[in-house]
């Protein structure tokens, strides 16, 4: 299933986990063993979920790394599809499989 304009995983982290749990960015960062700036960058859509971050989020939030990496993939694919719309370099690629 393809979403329309999927949210950045950082938005999901902030809105569905940090806010309802009433946990600060600083406290969450300390809990998962990263710098506050790392979590801040993520929730402000300035960075992406890495496999290691996905493992940390999965452990802290009782989810799976697959969930976080899947959210990141959906977001990235939607973004690149928007960027490559009507892109001549992409349009000029020949389909090799019939």
Please name the residue that has the structure tokens 């020949």: 94
**Residue 23 neighbours by CB under 8 Å, 6+ apart:** 17, 31
The pTM of this model reads: 0.88
Looking at domain 9-85, its CATH class is mainly alpha
Token couple for 58: 């999965």
Give 21-77 pLDDT, tens digit per residue.
999 999 999 999 999 999 999 999 999 999 999 999 999 999 999 999 999 999 999
Structural tokens at position 78:
């939607």
Residue ranges of the domains in the chain? 9-85
- Band of pLDDT at residue 91, cut at 50, 70 and 90: confident
């Amino acid at each position: 299933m393809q979403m329309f304009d999927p949210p950045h995983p950082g938005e999901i982290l902030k809105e569905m986990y940090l806010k309802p749990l009433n946990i600060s960015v600083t406290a969450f960062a300390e809990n998962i063993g990263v710098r506050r700036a790392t979590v801040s960058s993520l929730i402000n859509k300035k960075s992406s979920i890495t496999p290691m971050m996905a493992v940390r989020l999965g452990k802290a939030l009782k989810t799976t790394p697959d969930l976080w990496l899947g959210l990141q993939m959906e977001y990235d694919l939607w973004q690149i599809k928007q960027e490559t719309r009507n892109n001549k370099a992409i349009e000029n690629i020949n389909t090799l499989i019939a």
